[in-house]
Chain A
């Protein structure tokens, strides 16, 4: 049984043309899932019946001559922190085990309008906190390239699902790199839009000023297509950007002649970056230059403070966002003689160690007497980072560097010390702090034969340029082991 490698655009084209029934597409993918997900565990929940039903509806529309949508019949793997009405949304946490939201996330509605088919809810680090999917309360996901290795996180399930051919597209969320890093480790495309470009309504909040939903795919063109569907203003999200979304697909193949590409010194020299990873990044940069881009080094000095600022801001916001999990209205409840004790017991039983760690870190960073030194300071450091990035974007159209410091690492390799795990985010964090868009494009493998991702970053609302540069990187990427 081979995993499906059809692109979303190809699937949509054939379904829309009526030459391939959506229900066949779904059945093929379900068969692959059936065969392989037992080992990979990308999914918390496979929605076989629902997917078939949706597929049949698409086929009826096609037969009736109606427009079934730009992504008609395309199976999508949905990270399990995106609300799906009537369908369990667990955030891979015991505290939400079995919880069925009474509403759909805006992006879920958009997927349905586009004719895409949600084939399952994928595994993640609990409440999106982690870089390996090892923090899931329901067991980790394996990297399809090597099942003894992590897929990355927190959106490890969606990344693995796309990599393994369980779905043509995936949706994840990215707060500190949680789409891009697993994309790099699984050898797929993963993109984080400009903050506010995609509605967060229905995304279970982790760190509100950092979270964004974004696409996983096997090609840049597919990612652009999915981005085009999910992006846009939403009146249900007050941080949603009102500006209309230009079509980013048109300019994809325009190439990078004259594009000013900056290589961020501090990110390339960050702690722990594997030399073989860096070598691939250099290869990609050279390819861009060959394709006509103007490449130069650029220093973004404040970026070195990114990890510190991020690990004060994200826990602080998370500690507040996760206060609602208390056993009163939904989810797990552990009974007790008083409400206070019920809160304590429910939350202690329901949250895993990493979540508890971040809640406490965040509570501390906001607490009386410490706010200015920690959270307050981190928000100012964030401004410094944004200023330095903005300065870089005066001289460069895009910035390029590694997505993750290493290739996929073994289970348990980085769990002893939380800090070690946090270091995975060093290259991805700056774009979350700034709200800028960024994408990881697979570019060959490391010495261990495992995928390497190259990251392209662009200024706010620069998605068109971002995808264009990403397409050029993709075009130059080594294919298979012979190109190594």
Chain B
């Protein structure tokens, strides 16, 4: 596989992501209707969010606070901003204009660090806007243009959204997924959104283009209908390939919006209109400007929680590793960094602790594990009392029962094995397998490698898995004189 973002013929994929996150407010952006998912259709509506004649919007203070909080978590500059009308006709839009922010958004010029690659993705802007209602197509062949009719529910109309637009700094599907994961972690950490792609409170559109490295950006296509991280990755890879094939065969990429088809695994053109939309943006006359000022911003900063990047740094520092190490990223992602930090502080050897967090704690209840217990387990490993394999099993039991490692190890019979006992066990197995032993002694490295596995397995069985594989191998070689 070629380096991320390039193909064999040296094309670079350029990706920018537009993420819409529903803000976790109690009520809608411009009215006091509940911001709630799953209620009976059209029961959370009022004149304002229905866009009835004479109604007027009034801005939700908490939506502004959450928007600012997320903006500051992304290191954005919070600016004086205004609202604007985006005018177009669609039945899920009660006013046939959406109140959004256009040329003066609330948050600009931020950044997000990808956890593992460590690369920085620029955030162009993160602005506030209202969500639309939901339309359901009924009847017909299921495809939009064959539908019998449509039904509209306005419960979602007016729900506050934050639209986060990245700069086109991403270069691979993996990076794009990492970006969305990290953004999601930040949204959760700040409480700005519950960010569930499967429930629609986190929506991702991808802008994809290709170019030869060093060239100006190519024409981009917007991909919509990405309902999971997996779809995001697949769609980007498909689209990049599509564009490359198109250009390599002499065609040009047309700027358009394309729809990702999960079943067919391809993007397709949405039914195009004759003319591009002209949104006729103008400042929203019914809403006055937002100018949070230094005090409000300072309060938001003071209330910022510890963010994923900071948590990674803290754990990495304590463990003496770089922050972009996989184990660290996973620990923070699974919210086990607190556990890991405490275990290390209690004397647990950092490498062992991180290994367990990365590989052995993807189980329910892991966060409730006693850090002292984890530290003690790690110590039993470093002292040789437990092998890695045994430690893993003890850990599982620790999470399930809450007992300490020593008790569990004893119950399982995983006591420490002394050097003499181990040597005797190996000798016994050698004696019992004379033919294999002869081949081991006389064979070359390859033969010995294979037979080592056989002997280690036999010793493991004989000692109820108490033997340490490395120690067994060392004993074999000693006996064979190699």
Contact = CB atoms under 8 A, between A and B. Distances in A.
A373 interface: no
B282 A323 contact: no
A15 interface: no
B238 interface: no
Given A366-B87, A371-B280, A101 B53 contact: yes
A201 B54 CA distance: 6
B97 interface: yes
B91 to A, nearest CB: 5
A320 B97 contact: yes
Contact of A208 (B51, B87, B285): B285
A467 B87 CA distance: 40
A202 B282 contact: no
Given A238-B56, A329-B50, A320 B282 contact: yes
Contacts of B278: 367-368
A152 to B, nearest CB: 23
A323 B47 CA distance: 16
A203 B55 CA distance: 8
A323 B53 contact: no
A205 B47 contact: no
A323 B59 contact: no
Interface in A76-125: 82-83, 89, 91, 96, 99, 101-103, 105
Interface in B47-105: 47, 50-59, 85, 87, 89, 91, 94-97
Contact of A316 (B52, B282, B288): B282
A204 B57 CA distance: 13
B152 interface: yes
Contacts of A340: 89
Contacts of B389: none
Interface string A63-86: 000000000000000000011000
B95 A324 contact: yes
A316 B285 CA distance: 11
A80 B251 CA distance: 59
Interface in B263-294: 278, 280-282, 285-288
Interface in A176-231: 200-205, 207-209
Contacts of B282: 316-317, 320, 366, 371, 375
B335 to A, nearest CB: 40
B97 A368 contact: no
B150 interface: yes
Interface string B368-385: 000000000000000000
B58 A329 contact: no
Tell me whether chain B's interface is mostly helix, strand or loop, or mixed.
loop
A328 interface: yes
A326 interface: yes
Given A102-B52, A201-B54, A323 B286 contact: no
A205 B54 contact: yes
A323 B85 CA distance: 12
Contacts of A324: 51, 53, 94-96
A323 B97 contact: yes
Nearest to B90: A339
Given A324-B96, A375-B282, A103 B47 contact: yes
A35 interface: no
A235 interface: yes
Nearest to A199: B56
A368 B87 CA distance: 12
Contact of B96 (A89, A99, A326): A326
A355 to B, nearest CB: 14
Residue from A323, A343, A367 with most neighbouring chain B CB atoms (10 Å) = A323
A265 interface: no
Given A209-B285, A339-B150, A323 B89 contact: yes
Residue from B47, B278, B280, B281 with most neighbouring chain A CB atoms (10 Å) = B280
B141 to A, nearest CB: 16
Residue from B56, B91, B152, B281 with most neighbouring chain A CB atoms (10 Å) = B56
A363 B54 contact: no
A88 B329 CA distance: 62
Contacts of A238: 56-59, 286-288
B89 A201 contact: no
Interface string A341-375: 00100000000000000000001001110010001
Interface in B137-155: 150, 152
Nearest to A317: B285
Contact of B53 (A83, A235, A368, A371): A83
Given A324-B96, A366-B87, A375-B282, A96 B52 contact: no
Contacts of A82: 54
Contact of B95 (A96, A236, A323, A330): A323
Contacts of B288: 238-239
A24 interface: no
A19 B55 CA distance: 40
A334 to B, nearest CB: 15
Interface in A112-161: none
A105 B278 CA distance: 33
Nearest to B48: A236
20 contacts: A89-B53, A102-B47, A103-B54, A200-B56, A203-B54, A238-B286, A239-B56, A239-B285, A239-B288, A317-B282, A323-B87, A324-B95, A326-B91, A328-B152, A330-B53, A339-B91, A339-B150, A340-B89, A363-B280, A366-B280
Q: Which 6 residue pairs spanning A and B have beta carbons closest together?
A: A323-B96, A208-B285, A366-B280, A209-B285, A204-B53, A202-B54
